[in-house]
């Protein structure tokens, strides 16, 4: 027995982002939020095979308080005592919970990355490009000063010199006053769109052919707001990706092909594959978890059938 594992650490994220990361992690790991002695605690397991796991998480002013512990299960749903993550008793469950806690802490402490605005569409010349443009202007061919005009240039009329307009007063044109148009009253918008006018009668309320009610688009969330199971807008963040259970499920399913007839082992291996598949299906390796789940279920049935036949033959001889 021992006390709870307790730690406090600072995170560079807002409360919305911490909430999203934590709920995403606990959902993929199979934890459920419960009321435990007046505290909001995340719990996994009921104690049928292993001890139930508990994690308490709270956030305030950029700091996170985390507690983790397990309880000794006498019967499913009947527990006694609290154990931390140290000690030999229940070391397998403690190691599993310690790995989950370390993963959660690394996700919460990841650097904050603000999404950059899109680049502008107009082109901007670099200093090298400007230097090349000036070089081209200098090296452009120019007509010699003493060159004699060609016959075509002699026949063209020479334009007269432009008059000096610097001292000519400029009179602004008379502009008639603009009459302000009357402003119509602002319309009142409701959630139900107004049907368009009837193309024949010109009266509103047309609901015949060609009329389709347009759905109302939800408002665009502001940056940094929490929108359900999606990360806050404008904050790219890495989420929990449990690919390990998916690969484990596939490996156990493949191994069960050649071990389903072995006593005890033929049952344990596909059971591990079936138990690991749900977590793996919530990762990017969903196809591996699905294949492992199918193989594990098939050869678990073969193993159960084989063991039943073996026991029936053993007791009838």
For the ranges 89-98, 109-118, 123-132, the lowest mean pLDDT is seen at 123-132
At 38-52, the pLDDT tens digits run 889 999 987 767 788
Model pLDDT, residue 121: 43
CB pairs under 8 A, 24+ apart, for 199-203? none
In angstroms, the CA 227 to CA 234 distance is: 12
pLDDT category of residue 120 using cuts at 50, 70 and 90: very low
Q: Calculate mean pLDDT across residues 267-274.
A: 91
Task: Check residues 34 and 118 and name the one with the higher pLDDT.
Answer: 34
In angstroms, the CA 17 to CA 13 distance is: 6
In angstroms, the CA 62 to CA 13 distance is: 7
The first and second tokens of residue 173, run together, are 């044109």
**Whose structure tokens read 């603009």?**
178
CA 110: distance to chain centroid?
14
**Predicted model pTM:** 0.57
Question: Is the CB of residue 131 less than 8 Å from the CB of residue 32?
Answer: no
Q: Calculate mean pLDDT across residues 2-6.
A: 83
Taking alpha carbons only, the member of 56, 57, 64, 68 closest to residue 9 is 64
Is the pLDDT confidence value at 132 over 60? yes
Model pLDDT, residue 145: 54
Is the pLDDT confidence value at 102 over 90? yes
| Helix or strand (DSSP H, E) at 131 | helix 127-138
The highest-confidence range among 55-69, 158-172, 203-217, by mean pLDDT, is: 55-69
Q: Calculate mean pLDDT across residues 148-172.
A: 54
Give 68's strand partners: 5, 55
Q: Calculate mean pLDDT across residues 161-188.
A: 55
């Amino acid at each position: 027995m021992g006390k709870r594992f307790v730690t406090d650490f600072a995170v560079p994220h807002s409360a919305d982002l911490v909430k999203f990361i934590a709920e995403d992690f606990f959902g993929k790991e199979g934890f459920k939020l419960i009321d435990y002695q007046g505290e909001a605690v995340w719990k996994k397991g009921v104690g049928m095979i292993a001890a139930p796991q508990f994690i308490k998480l709270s956030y305030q002013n950029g700091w996170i308080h985390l507690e983790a512990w397990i309880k000794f299960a006498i019967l499913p749903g009947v527990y006694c005592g609290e154990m931390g993550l140290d000690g030999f008793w229940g070391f397998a469950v403690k190691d599993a919970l310690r790995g989950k806690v370390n993963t959660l802490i690394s996700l919460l402490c990841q650097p904050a990355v603000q999404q950059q605005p899109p680049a502008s569409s107009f082109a901007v010349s670099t200093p090298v490009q400007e230097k090349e443009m000036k070089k081209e202007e200098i090296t452009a061919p120019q007509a010699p000063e003493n060159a004699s005009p060609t016959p075509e240039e002699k026949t063209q009329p020479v334009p007269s010199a432009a008059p000096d307009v610097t001292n000519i007063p400029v009179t602004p044109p008379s502009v008639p006053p603009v009459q302000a148009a009357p402003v119509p009253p602002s319309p009142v918008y409701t959630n139900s769109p107004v049907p368009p006018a009837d193309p024949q009668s010109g009266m509103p309320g047309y609901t015949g052919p060609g009329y389709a009610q347009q759905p109302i688009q939800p408002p665009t969330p502001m940056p940094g707001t929490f929108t359900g199971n999606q990360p806050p807008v404008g904050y790219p963040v890495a989420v929990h990706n449990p690919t390990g259970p998916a690969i484990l499920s596939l490996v156990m399913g493949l191994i069960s092909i050649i071990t389903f007839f072995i006593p005890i082992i033929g049952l344990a291996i596909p059971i591990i594959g079936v138990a690991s598949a749900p977590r793996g299906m919530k990762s990017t390796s969903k196809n591996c978890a699905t294949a492992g789940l199918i193989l594990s279920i098939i050869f678990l049935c073969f193993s159960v059938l084989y063991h039943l036949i073996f026991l029936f033959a053993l007791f009838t001889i």
